[in-house]
Structure 1
Amino acid sequence: MSYDYDLFVIGGGSGGIAAARRAAGYGAKVGLAEVDRLGGTCVNRGCIPKKLMVYASHFPDFYEDATGYGWSPVNSQLDWPHLVSAIDKELRRLNDIYVTKLAEVDIHRTYSRLLDPHTVEAGDRKVTADKILIAVGGKPVHPSIQGIEHAVSSDAMFSLPEQPKRMLAIGSGYIASEFACILHHLGTEVTQFTKHDLILKGFDDDLREHLQNSMGEQGIRILQKSQVGWPVQIERVDSGLKVCFEQGDPIEVDLILSAVGRRPNLEKLGLENADVETSSGAIAVDEHSRTTQPNIYAVGDCTNRVNLTPVAIREGRAFVDTEYGKQPWVMSHENVPSAIFTTPEAASVGLGEAQARERYGNEAIDTYRARFAATYYALTPRRQRSMLKLVVERDSDRVLGVHMVGDHAAEIIQGMAIAVKMGAKKADFNATVGIHPSVAEEFVTM
């Protein structure tokens, strides 16, 4: 049977673009549908603009730290509209690059949905494809709170017309924690509400505790559900937004960030028309990213496996290499490194201590940790402490997890991820000469 395309991709985010480009490079005829800016959440409403705001938030600390090294004090004010405009300009530049890189792909600037296993409705057109890849990502969800419509999601944080003087971040994940730090260091009075005693559920407990304590020491107010109960009402008042909790006094803020999680963006996708099944609200796929319809695949956050941009890219490339490049391989979701771009930064790869003890047994695990202030802070007014931790299986001596809170944690853990992926042992770490003086050397001297 003849089709309009060898491959049609629904969604122009990181995973969809990576797959479309590589498939076209193998000679496949490829179409891609995306109604929004190319690049998806990461480029437009996530990783890239967030990291730019993180960089902006570091300058006040740099100015203060410099005085300890003999530099005269700096009196500088943030131009919020300039920051927002500069970030938007960079995102537009990146979008232009994506358009150029997809020169060999037919781009349909429209919503699309499945009509049957081989047919997609793309705007007012119906196109057919031998294979279809779904890469539609996810979207924010909001908690059930009266007046939650007054809150904004992370999608809106990069286009706020003015900097809020007071902000409440509802959530304990990386999005709420990162924006709490960003806005605090830009000068906003920040409160973060978490339903857990510690932020960042799923990460190693020492990492969670150290980071939360550091944020509190910097001046971010952490409100725990165990202290005040759940937020029950949000209402607009003359002085801003008033948030009432189940117990204790209400608080007033200018901005509320709702960041309690995200879910696959599957509405109106027509999955039922192609007999594509879901599981727990996500598209069900096998290890090859194949759905329950053999010619339809899905990658990225819409499958809810590991919701990270590099994972979506590798899933997309594994699918294409296997189906079009005659180079079959499977994306492994084990030992995927991740980072939280808070201040201080945190990063992790492999198993946390609790996960390791649950999997291997309580007596089978050894841990090594260090807490100290880096040399950089010796002359500064601040005394920010780093935390480094190794989780090791006792019998095999294999390093199961590496965790860090501190400056440049993401850069350091990226290198550690190679060691964990290769199955390095604690003895290999011990045999490695450290770079002195550095924070990372502590990983090989514990």
Structure 2
Amino acid sequence: MAPVVNPTETEISEKYDYDLIVVGGGSGGLAASKRAAALGAKVAVFDFVKPTPVGTTWGLGGTCVNVGCVPKKLMHQGALLRQHIHDAKIYGWKVGETETHVWEELVEKVQDYIGSQNFGFRVSLRDKGVKYINAYVTFVDQHTVKAVDKRGNVTFHTADKFIIAVGMRPNYPDIAGAKDYAITSDDIFSLPYPPGKTVVVGASYIALECGGFLNGLGFEVTVLVRSILLRGFDQECAERVGEYMKAEGVEFMRGFVPRKITQIEPGTPAKLKIEAKNNSTGEIAEIECNTVLFAIGRTACTESLNLESIGVKVNSKTSKVIVNEAEQSSVNNIYAIGDVIEGKLELTPVAVQAGQLLSQRLFGKGKVLMDYVNVPTTVFTPLEYGCCGYSEEDAHEKFGKDNIEVHHNLFQPLEWVIGQKAGVCYAKLVCKNDDNRVIGFHIIAPNAGEMTQGFALALRIGAKKEDFDSLVGIHPTNAEVFTVLDITKSSGKELVASGCGGGT
């Protein structure tokens, strides 16, 4: 007896080249494509990287592995090692009085690792049966894309469904010299020469992370801050991060925005001059430096996809795709995931999980939607800041200020005691008064990311403050501070840094 064939599947395979085309080869796109292929779909991934203004380009894997999370964390670690060398002397290790860092060696090691990852992604797609095509696509209609490869060859491809996962690229200000002389985070991790004295423009997590590791590696760093630090994050924590960086030698110029960049002398690095204005006071500042790094936001890479002409609604200001709770756009067979969607978190693990869940719904029997609220993240500044859930400001807005209580304290890691470092580490739980549920977790401390990952599960399953209080802490650790947070903001009590995470 002949096997029963689903007519719908037969019709799709005959009508289109693919069941699914994923536009974008970043973390989200790769995860979605491999999950769809594992569920039996015929899948193709199109990925193409346009060079930056200074010519930087990279391989398969998207922002995270090439010019984001991965090289950022490696350079952050490189910077921390300088401090560890200093601490080693305090602990009795006999090391040299001065440290010498070779930028080129760090860049080489970072890029070697990234290259291995690029190769691994291509192999993984092949092994999963996903067709990889290195070409830039534009939509012709809701089922057809035009692809142009690096040689200019044009081909057309059809699919039943599409997932847009093209991510974002850094913004440049509209000022003289910006694209001629400045770089962004797309360039810094492969810069073939030491950046020298660097001016970082911006106050995003990318700005503070880059400024932080450059300062830690021994370069003079000035950060131009237009308004606030870490917009979208808890502002009390953001300011504490900034204060620590300032104490470590990073100069902050608050209220200043760049007006123009000129080159004084070419070279590797060059000698530059950046002119900035304080919009509040009118003060003009001229700063001589070697590198200007812009980290003033990012724009979704959708402008050339021809989306609006086929009916896909896009936010005109951000270029992001407008989707519903199931990541479906205004055109029912076209979806979007990751940084490119409007109003959602711009985080790699979010894109990965959203992509997997979406493919499970499209080609499996999945029904689970992505949870965009209780998502942990960490800012890898010199003193890391990890968080999950609501900031204090957002909690006040969402649930009402009278319904929110904050439990917090300073603490000093035991590792810092011998070195007499100040107790600047900080822990905060944002709780609802009506049910005592913990809705915001914030930690500023070494290895904050590792702590945040575990505690995020507590928020996800609805833990209450008494659950944290009844948890036995591991002594002596930093994380145990969350088991003994007994100072509330409403009490007005002064914060005093205790040792060993607050345990004694």
Look up the equivalent residue of 2:143 and give its one-letter code.
H
> What is the CA deviation profile of residues 98-128 of structure 1, one whole-angstrom value per residue up to 9, with x for unaligned ones?
1111011111111111111111112221111
Shift of 1:240: 1.2
AA of the residue aligned to 1:303 = I
1:72 aligns with one of 79, 94, 101:
94
Report if aligned partners of 1:68, 1:381 keep a CA contact under 8 Å in 2: no
1:52 aligns with 2:74: yes
Alignment of 1:20-99 (within 5 A): 20-36=33-49, 37-74=59-96, 75-99=98-122
- Among 239, 259, 266, which residue is 1:232 paired with? 259
Partner-residue secondary structure (3-state), 2:232: coil
Instruction: Tell me the alpha carbon deviations over residues 116-159 of structure 1, each in whole angstroms, 9 at most, x when there is no partner.
Output: 11111122211111111111111111123332222111100011
Q: Which residue of 1 aligns with 2:336?
A: 298
Match of 1:193 in 2: 224
Paired with 2:350 and 2:320, the residues of 1 have a C-alpha distance of 16
String of CA shifts for 1:252-297, please: whole Å, max 9, x gaps.
Answer: 1100000000011012212134221112421111111111111111
Q: How many angstroms apart in 1 are the aligned matches of 2:218 and 2:472?
A: 41
- Percentage of identical aligned residues: 37
* Higher RCO (C-alpha under 8 Å, 6+ residues apart): 1
CA contact (8 A) 2:229 2:235 kept: no
Task: Quote the residue 1:144 is aligned against.
Answer: 174
For structure 1, the 5+ residue unaligned runs are: none
Cα deviation code 1:331-374 (max 9, x no counterpart) = 01112111100110111111111211122222211111111221
- Output the CA distance in 2 between the equivalents of 1:244 and 1:275: 43
AA paired with 2:229?
A: I
For residues 372-383 of structure 1, the aligned pairs below 5 Å read: 372-380=411-419, 382-383=421-422
Instruction: Quote the Cα distance in structure 1 between the aligned partners of 2:157 and 2:196.
Output: 50
- Is 1:212 the counterpart of 2:233? The answer is no
* Correspondence for 2:493: none
Verify: 1:116 aligned to 2:154, yes or no.
Answer: no
TM-score (normalizing by structure 1): 0.96
- Residue 248 of structure 1 deviates from its aligned partner by 4.3
Aligned to 1:168: 199
Q: Secondary structure at the match of 1:293?
A: coil
Q: 1:284 aligns with which of 314, 317, 322?
A: 322
Task: For 1:334-349, list aligned pairs within 5 A.
Answer: 334-349=373-388
User: d(CA) in 2 for partners of 1:202 and 1:133?
Assistant: 27
Write out per-residue CA displacement over residues 299-352 of structure 1, whole angstroms, 9 at most, x where no aligned residue: 111114211101111111111000101122110111211110011011111111
2:273 to 242, 255, 263: 242
**Structure 2: gaps spanning 5 or more residues:** 1-10, 50-58, 149-153, 278-282, 486-504
Q: Is the 8 A contact 2:386 2:442 kept in 1?
A: yes
Q: How does 1:151-162 map to 2 (within 5 A)?
A: 151-162=182-193
In 2, distance between residues paired with 1:377 and 1:219? 19
Distance 1:397 1:186 in 2: 43
Q: State the TM-score, normalized to the length of structure 2.
A: 0.85
Larger Rg: 2
CA distance in 1, matches of 2:95, 2:303: 53
Q: 1: CA distance between counterparts of 2:62 and 2:195?
A: 26
Structure 2 CA distance for aligned equivalents of residues 303 and 310 of structure 1? 15
SS of the equivalent of 1:243 reads strand
Choose which of 6, 27, 32 in structure 2 pairs with 1:19. Answer: 32
Q: 2:494 corresponds to which residue?
A: none
1:322 paired with 2:357, answer: no
Aligned length: 442
- What letter is aligned with 1:65? D
CA distance in 2, matches of 1:205, 1:127: 47
Output the CA distance in 1 between the equivalents of 2:134 and 2:174: 34
Moved more, 356-365 or 23-32: 356-365
Cα separation, 1, equivalents of 2:177 and 2:167: 27
- After TM superposition, the structure 1 stretch with the greater mean CA deviation from structure 2, 276-285 or 291-300, is 276-285
Change (3 A) 1:82 1:431: same
How far has the Cα of 1:381 moved from its partner? 5.9
Contact preservation (8 Å) 2:308, 2:314:
no
Q: 1:140–1:261: 8 Å Cα contact kept in structure 2?
A: yes
